[in-house]
Structure 1
Amino acid sequence: MSLWQRRVKQSGLTIEHLSRRLKLRSFKGFVSMFLVGAILSVAIASCSGGNADNASNAGNSGASTVAANNKDVELTLVSFAVTKAVHEAIIPKFVEQWKKDHNQNVSFKQSYGGSGSQTRAVIDGLEADVVHLALALDTQKIEKAGLIQPGWEKEAPNNGIVSKSVAALVTREGNPKGIKTWADLDKNGVKLITADPKTSGIARWNFLALWNSVVKTGGDEAKATDFVTKVYTNVPLLTKDAREASDAFFKQGQGDALINYENEIILAQQKGEKVNYIVPDVNISIDNPIAVVDKNVDKHGTREVAEGFVKYLYSPEAQQEFAKLGFRPVDETAPATKELAGKYPKVKTLGTVGDYGGWDTVQNKFFADGGLFDKIQAQKK
C-alpha cells in the first residue's frame, strides 16, 4: 500500500470517528460546529498565507505533516546484535538532520539481540517502528504475523537491503591448528565457535557459508551434508547471537576458530583486539534488510519519521558509517577508496541465498523443526 493510500485510509477513519462524536442532534449542535469550522478556517489561513517561510515549507513535502504537528517523536528501533555500533553512530546524525529539516526532536528506543529472538519479540508485542534484521526470512515472519504489509521490499532501495557483509574465519594468534579454508574446520581436534541458527541470523548465514563452500566447488548435496555434519560436531557450544560468539572466542578464550560477520571482526580490531582472520575466496553474500513496521507506526503516529529514518540509512553519510564500521557498501560503486579496497578484499566466488531457492526453501530444508540442522544436533547427543 502506498503512502498516500495509507493517509487516505487514516483520514477516512478519523472523519468517520468525528462524525459519530459530533453528530448534529440539535440547532445548538449545528451552531457549535459552524463556529468550530470558522475558527479552523481562520487558523489554517493564517498559517498558510502569512509569509515567505510558510510558502517555502509548503513546497517541502518532507516537512508537511511533521512541521504541522511539531511534537517530539520517539522511534523504537529493533535490530540484530552486531548493528549496535553502527546505529549508535548514525542515529545522532539523523536526529540532527531531521531537527534541521523539520524542526522536530526525535529520540530512539533501541533493542539489539539475535535476529531470530528479536523477530519473536516483535511478533509477541515489542512495538518496533523499524526493524533491521539479519535476513529477509525474519522480516517475512513479521509480515506473516500481520505487522508489516506485503511489498515492504519495494518501499526502500536495493530490495530493502541496507547493509551487507560476508563470512570471516578467525583463528588464534599464530594459527596453531593450521586453519586456512572452510575445509579445515572438520578436522579432528578443531573447536569451532558459532551461534545457534535457531536464535541467530548470523548462524544461518554461517551454515550457508559452509554449505556453499562445498557446492560452489563442485560438491553435491551428500558431500555438503557430510561436511557440515562434521563441522558442527566440532562446535562445543552454540551461542545465542553473533556478539556472544565473539565474546566466547575473544574474552573467554574458547575455541580454535570463529565464524562471524566480517564487520564484527573489523569492529573487534577497531576496539583494540588483535585478530587473525581470513575472508575465504568462496563465500556467501550476507544481506540485511530494513523495514517499517506498518501496524506500529500507524498506531504510534510515527510513519513519516520512521520512513525518513529508513531513507536516511541509504544516504551517502549513513552508508559511510556502515563502511567505517565493517559493513560492505550496499552500492558497490560508491566509496571505492583505497582504504575501503584494502579493508574489503574482493571475493572470487560469492553465493547468495537465491542460489539455494530463497529463504522459504532454505528455512524449511535446513532450519525448521526436523530439518537438517536438527538432525545434525541429534547425532551429537
Structure 2
Amino acid sequence: MKKGVVLLAGIFVIVLGLLNCSRQTEKKVLLNVAYDVIRDFYHDYNQAFRQQHANIVISQSHGSASKQTLSVAKGLPADIVTLTQANDIDLLVQKGLVASDWAQRFPNNATPFGSVMVFLVKKGNPKQIRDWQDLTRNDVRVVFANPKTSANGRFAYLAAYSYAKQAFSGEAQQLDFIRRLLRNVPVLEAGARSATMVFTQRHFGDVLITPENEAALAAQRLDTQGFSVIYPSLTLYTPVLVAETTNTKINGTHKLAQTYLQGLWSEQGQELAAQHHFRPSNAKIAQKFTALFPKVNALDVNEQFGDWATINQQHFADNALFDQLYFQACVHCNSQAD
C-alpha cells in the first residue's frame, strides 16, 4: 500500500514538474495589426526582436488602413496597431480598445518615423513627369490607392489638393485641377500595396503616387524592370503611428508590447526604419542616412486641412468632395469615349 502511495506521489511530482516546465516554455503571441506598406519593415524588425526575446511569436496582419481599423474594432484581438491616421486610432479609443492618451505614451506623439508622398515612374521617365501639374496632361495615366479605403490614398489625394491650393488662388481652379487629375485615374486600387503591384507588375499607368518607402522599395527590388522615384515640389508627410490596445491586459502581453514598441525608437530600430526608407525621428540617425532622403517641402496634413474628423466630413464621407469630383471626372471620361 505504501509503495503505491509513494509511486502515485512520484508520478504527481513528475506531472507537476512537466506542467511547470510547459508554463515556463509556453510562447507568448503578440499580434500587430498594421497598414499594408509597412509589412517589409516589420518582417525584419520582428526577426531582430525575436533574437532578444525568443520565447514569443509575433503575428502580423496587413491590409488597407480602413479595413484594419474596422477589423480591430469588430474584435480582431490586436495587441498593437500601426496606422498612419490619428482618427483611425481614435476610433479604437471610442471603442474602449486604446487609451485616450495613446499619443502621449511614446515619444514624438507616438510617431517613431514616417514617409512622404512621391511619384514612381518608369526608368528614364519617358513622360517627363516632374510635378503635380504633369499628372493632369492628357497623355498621362495615374495610379494610386482609393481614398475611400486607403489612408495612403487619402494622403495622395490631399497632397495633390495641397499643390492646387498653392498653385491656384481661386477655389474653382483648385477643384478643376483635381478633377482633371482624376480624369487620368482609370482605376482606384483598394490599398497602396495593390496599387504598387498594378503599376510595377502589370505595367498599368505612367505614374504611381505612393509613400517614399514604398516607391523606393519598388525601385530597389524591381530595378531590372526599370523604375525611378520623383520628388514633386510639394508633398505631405505621412506619419507612422503606433498604439498598444487594451487586449494586452487580457492576453498578459502588456510588458512585451511596451518593450516591442519602445524598440522602434532605439538606435537599432531607427536605423532599420531608415534602411527601409522610412524617415527616422531620431536626428542623429537621420543624419547618417541623408543620402537616402532628399530634402522635400513636406507639409502637415492637419495644418493644411484641419483635424481628420473635418477632413473626412469634407472630403471622404459619402457624397463629399472626393466622390463629387471623381463622379464628375468619370462622367467627362465617358462622354469623351462616346
Which TM class, normalised by the smaller chain length?
A: 0.7 to 0.9
Is 1:308 aligned to 2:259, yes or no? yes
Say which SS state the counterpart of residue 112 (structure 2) adopts: strand
Letter in 2 for 1:322: A
Match of 1:194 in 2: 144
Deviations 1:298-357 (A, max 9, x none): 2212111111111111111011111001111122343312xx212110013534323321
Could you tell me whether the CA contact under 8 Å between 2:112 and 2:241 is conserved in 1? yes
Is 1:89 aligned to 2:44, yes or no? yes
Deviations 1:269-308 (A, max 9, x none): 33133322211131111112000111x1122121111111
Higher gyration radius (CA): 1
Q: Which runs of 5+ in 2 are unaligned?
A: 1-22, 332-338
Quote the Cα distance in structure 1 between the aligned partners of 2:319 and 2:24: 52
Quote the Cα distance in structure 2 between the aligned partners of 1:89 and 1:249: 25
Could you tell me whether the CA contact under 8 Å between 2:237 and 2:298 is conserved in 1? no
1:150-189 paired onto structure 2 within 5 Å: 150-189=100-139
Say which SS state the counterpart of residue 291 (structure 2) adopts: helix
Match of 1:369 in 2: 318
How far apart are 1:72 and its partner, in Å? 2.3
Quote the Cα distance in structure 1 between the aligned partners of 2:66 and 2:112: 18
Say which SS state the counterpart of residue 240 (structure 2) adopts: strand
Quote the Cα distance in structure 1 between the aligned partners of 2:237 and 2:294: 13
Quote the Cα distance in structure 2 between the aligned partners of 1:234 and 1:219: 23
Q: Structure 1 residues 96, 205: CA separation in 2 closer, same or farther (over 3 Å shift)?
A: same
Structure 1 residues 361-370 or 198-207, which shifts more?
Answer: 361-370
230, 235, 240: which one aligns with 1:283: 235
Q: Which has the higher contact order (CA 8 A, sep 6+)?
A: 2
Quote the Cα distance in structure 2 between the aligned partners of 1:177 and 1:270: 21
How far apart are 1:92 and its partner, in Å? 1.7
Could you tell me whether the CA contact under 8 Å between 1:216 and 1:349 is conserved in 2? no
Quote the Cα distance in structure 2 between the aligned partners of 1:312 and 1:70: 23
For normalisation by structure 2, the TM-score amounts to 0.86
Q: Structure 1 residues 157, 69: CA separation in 2 closer, same or farther (over 3 Å shift)?
A: farther
239, 248, 254: which one aligns with 1:297: 248
How far apart are 1:216 and its partner, in Å? 3.4
Structure 1 residues 105-114 or 207-216, which shifts more?
Answer: 207-216
How far apart are 1:222 and its partner, in Å? 3.3
Match of 2:16 in 1: none
Could you tell me whether the CA contact under 8 Å between 2:156 and 2:209 is conserved in 1? yes
Say which SS state the counterpart of residue 132 (structure 1) adopts: strand
Match of 1:122 in 2: 72
Say which SS state the counterpart of residue 60 (structure 2) adopts: strand
Is 1:98 aligned to 2:24, yes or no? no
How far apart are 1:174 and its partner, in Å? 3.1
Match of 1:233 in 2: 183
Quote the Cα distance in structure 2 between the aligned partners of 1:209 and 1:83: 20
How far apart are 1:70 and its partner, in Å? 7.3
Match of 1:330 in 2: 281
Could you tell me whether the CA contact under 8 Å between 1:114 and 1:199 is conserved in 2? yes
Q: Which runs of 5+ in 1 are unaligned?
A: 1-67, 100-104
Letter in 2 for 1:228: I
Letter in 2 for 1:161: T
Could you tell me whether the CA contact under 8 Å between 1:212 and 1:351 is conserved in 2? no
Quote the Cα distance in structure 2 between the aligned partners of 1:202 and 1:175: 23
Q: Provide runs of 4+ in structure 1 moved above 6 Å.
A: none
Could you tell me whether the CA contact under 8 Å between 1:136 and 1:288 is conserved in 2? no
- Work out the percentage of aligned pairs sharing the same amino acid: 31
Quote the Cα distance in structure 2 between the aligned partners of 1:84 and 1:140: 22
Could you tell me whether the CA contact under 8 Å between 2:142 and 2:184 is conserved in 1? yes
* Count of residues in Structure 1 that have an aligned counterpart in Structure 2: 306
